[in-house]
Amino acid sequence: MADLRRLEELGLVVLSESEVWRDPLAQVEAPLQTPPELTQGQAQVWSQLQAALRSQNNGIWKPYLLHGVTGSGKTEIYLRAVQEVLLQGKQALVLVPEIALTPQTVRRFLGRFPGMVGLVHSQLSVGERYDTWRRAGAGKLQVVVGPRSALFTPFPNLGLIVLDEFHDSSYYQSEPAPAYSAVQAAITYGRLTRSTVLLGSATPPVEWMYTAQEKNWPVLALPERIMAHRQTVAAQLTRQSQKSNPDETGSEGSSLPLPPVKIVDMRQELKAGNRSMFSRALQDAMTKTLDAGQQ
């Protein structure tokens, strides 16, 4: 080191110090993504949520419950909500129920917000978690993604908390202590910081739907799946014995309702003499499907 100091004195080299962050996402490649066109249902939901995000410090604070069926495009709503708070100069926290789900979620957000996303979960090294906390606390990370433990990341200017699939039991910790509900903790955290809390699920728990109704929380609905490809959707519609024209199914941005569901009272089946574990309606449907060469 003495030799380097001497070279510096002679003006031959320049010595400096810089901190290298231990970033678990440094080697993750995510192609840039542009926001897709919203379906009519998504546009309606986004209009309400965007208005709330722009006036989150006014009036009575309430969390938002997003009830969207699987494949309805809830993640795009999350992405746009994050973009809105970033435009306001604030930070966002996105929680997922399982560590296994973080890679795909992180890639979606990195594709939309390159260089702005951090990751926190228990399988990272202590150094990686520590550096992510420090960067978030210093305002150098605008978006943090992780499971329930990410809720304890320090944010100087938090504007949004998203809980994806908030019905999942992984949001509830019993052991090791302390025992807590990440859902309830996020709601309390959001209220204290005046941050918008968005609870998303395809199957919201009964108790939370009841709470939303009793406390008059806004409930946003996405009841239809998004059509990803014309041909696939046209085939689905044909199999459902519905009239279908590929030229009229629409392009990306169209939507498809969930297939009809029939509830069968097996007690009535037993009374009718059917002692099988399958109802007659199910047996008929399976027979027709197999006869048609389908699965």
Predicted confidence (pLDDT) per residue in 21-57, tens digit: 788 877 787 888 888 889 889 999 999 999 988 886 5
User: Do residue 80 and residue 217 come from a single domain?
Assistant: yes
What is the domain range of residue 95? 40-226
CA distance 127 to 134: 10
Closest of 96, 100, 205 to residue 151, by C-alpha: 96
**Quick one: 241 and 160 in the same domain?**
no
Q: Is residue 216 located within the same domain as residue 89? A: yes
- Answer with the residue of higher pLDDT: 198 or 249: 198
216 and 268 share one domain: no
My answer on whether 174 and 269 are in the same domain is: no
Q: Is residue 3 part of a domain?
A: no
Are 151 and 222 in a shared domain?
yes
Mean pLDDT highest for which of 49-63, 81-95, 102-116? 81-95
Q: What is the mean pLDDT of residues 223-251?
A: 53
Contact between 263 and 253 (Cβ < 8 Å): no
Q: Is residue 25 one of the residues assigned to a domain?
A: no
What's the CATH number where 88 sits?
A: 3.40.50.300
Q: Quick check: 207 pLDDT over 70?
A: yes
Are 149 and 123 in contact by the 8 Å Cβ rule? The answer is: no
pLDDT band at 236 (very low <50, low <70, confident <90, very high): low
What pTM was estimated for this model as a whole?
0.76
Backbone angles phi, psi at 163, to 5 degrees: -120, 105
Q: Does 236 lie in the same domain as 150?
A: no
Asked if residue 191 belongs to a domain, the reply is yes
- Is residue 167 situated within a structural domain? yes
> How far apart are alpha carbons 23 and 144 in whole angstroms?
12
* Domain tally, the chain: 3
Q: Are 157 and 279 members of one domain?
A: no
Same-domain check for residues 200 and 254: no
170 and 285, same domain (yes or no): no
Same domain membership, residue 158 and residue 190: yes
Least confident of 29-33, 54-58, 103-107, 287-291: 54-58
